[in-house]
Structure 1
C-alpha cells in the first residue's frame, strides 16, 4: 500500500503501439523482428521528446550543460507545442528543474495523452509528489552518489532525499541518473545501493559533455570509453554479488548516440542533441510553436540513432558492450 492508499502511477496511453511497446514503467521494447533501420524509414515522428518547460534551476551542478537562461513558455505556448507533438509517444517534461514551475501540475494535466517522464532533482518532491501520482509514468532523479559527493557536484543532498522519499511514498516509479566524473567513481557502488533501497527501476550513468559548467571541469574529470567500460563492468559485478536489483545502463557519446535526443527549448525550438561538431552541441531542426513534429522529423538526420538509443540498442547494459 502506498502513501494515502494511492495506487502506483501508470501512464494513460496504451503502452503497446505497433512494433514498439512501453514496458516496466521505464523502457520501450521492440516487438517482433523489425529492424531499427526499417523502423527509422517508416517512423513519422520521434519516439521520445525532451521538452524544457523552464531553464531555471535551484542547483548549480558542476557538469551542467544548460546554463543559458530564457523565459518560461506560457501555458498557451505549451498548449500549442502539445498539439504539434501529436505522433510522439513519450514527452519528458524537463528543465532546468521543471518542478520549480508552480503550475507544473497543470502542465502534467495538459500532457496526459502522452507517456510522461519527469527528469528532476526532487527538491520540490515533498510539495508536488501527490499531484504527480497516477499521472506520470516515472520520475528520473539526478543523483550522483552519497552525501559528500552529491553536495560537492550537485547541491542539497538531504532536500533531494526528502523529495525522493515523498515521490516513492506516493507510488511514483523512480529511476536515478548520474553524471560520471573521475572524482565520483568511488561513490558509484554506494549510489547503486541507494538505488536499490529506493527500489529504482534503473541507474543510468552518463558521461559529461564539454558545455556550460562542464567547460570549467578539470580535464582529468573526463574518462574515456575504455575506462568507462571497465567501471561499468566492475559495477555490474558488484550488482550481481550483492543482488542489487536496479538495472544499470550507460550512455556513451559515440557515433551511434550522436544527435539521438530531440530537445525542445522553452522558446519552442526543436534541436538534435548532442551533435559533436556544433559549438553548443545543438543542431536546430525547426520550431514547435510554428510547425508539427512530423514536419520537423522529416529533416532530422539522426532517426536511426534516436530509435536505437530509446530501444536500448546503443547503450551499455550488463550483456551489451559500448559500441
Structure 2
C-alpha cells in the first residue's frame, strides 16, 4: 500500500456541533437572564468537574473574534452563539427556553492509541447531566480533517482523490442524510448547486478535477469561488500553515454516540478516498449506491478506527438518490436578508481553522 498523508500518521480532527440546550428544571430556567450567562454556567460546570486529561471549556457568546489571541481559546472546548440555529418559540407557561449554541472542540488526534473518544464522551455526558440537549432542522454537525503528517498540509493528489470520491458517491450520500440535510442552503451539493460544474456527469466532473494543477484551482472548483456553504468545504485549504477539509452535511446530534458515528464516517471516507479515489471510474454511467459506498469505505483499515460505529449510519439504508438543487426562489425578502446577515457575521469568524493551525 502506498504511503499517503492519512495512513502514515493519522488525522487531526475538529468537531463543531450545533444544538439547543435547556436547563433541567423550570426553577433553573427562570434564573438564567441571557444566552451568554447560560453558556458561562455550562462552561464553568464543565471546568469544575473536568479531569486533567480533558480540555477545559469557556464561552465566547457575542464575542467579536477579531483581535482575540488568548491561547486558551485554541486549546479548549468553546461554546459560541450561532445565528443560523432557530429555537422553538418560547412560551414560559408550557416550556423551558431553548438556548441556541455551537460547541467547538479543540483539535483532536484520530490516531492509533488516541483517547479522543473518551474526551468526547466525557464532554457530552456532562452536558447531558447539566442540560437537556435538543436539535431541530436548523442544527448540523461539521467535521474538520487535517493530516497529522506533512506539517498538517493536504497534498494536491490527496485532495483530488477526495474530491473525485465525493462526486462518485454523491447519490449514495443523499440516501444516508436525513431529508432536511438535502436541498439545504447551508450544505449545498458540490455538483448540483455548483455552476463550476456545468456538466453534471461523473466523467465530466472527473475531467475538471483531474485538470487542476494547484490547490487554489480545486478550491475554486469545489466551492464555486469562495462560497463555504457546500456539503464539503475546501476554503480552509487556502492560506499559510495547516489546512483542513470540512464536511458540513451531518445532522445535529444529541449524544456522544451519534457524534462519534459521524466522525468515524467522515474519517473512514477520507481515508478510503485518499487510497482509492484517484482510480475510480464510471464506465457504466450508473450512480454508485449505498452498498457501493459501504464496500468502498470498509476496504481500508484506519489506524485508531472503530469501524463498527459505521453501522449507525448505514443501518437500513440502501440504493441511490438523485440530488436536488436548492430552490432559492422559495425564500421571502425577509428570509434572504436574514441569510445575508448570518453569512456576514460568519465571514470573519473561523475559530476551528485557527485551532487546527495551532495544534
* TM-score of the two chains, using structure 2 as the length reference: 0.24
Structure with a larger share of its residues in strand: 1
Structure with a larger share of its residues in helix: 2
* TM-score of the two chains, using structure 1 as the length reference: 0.25
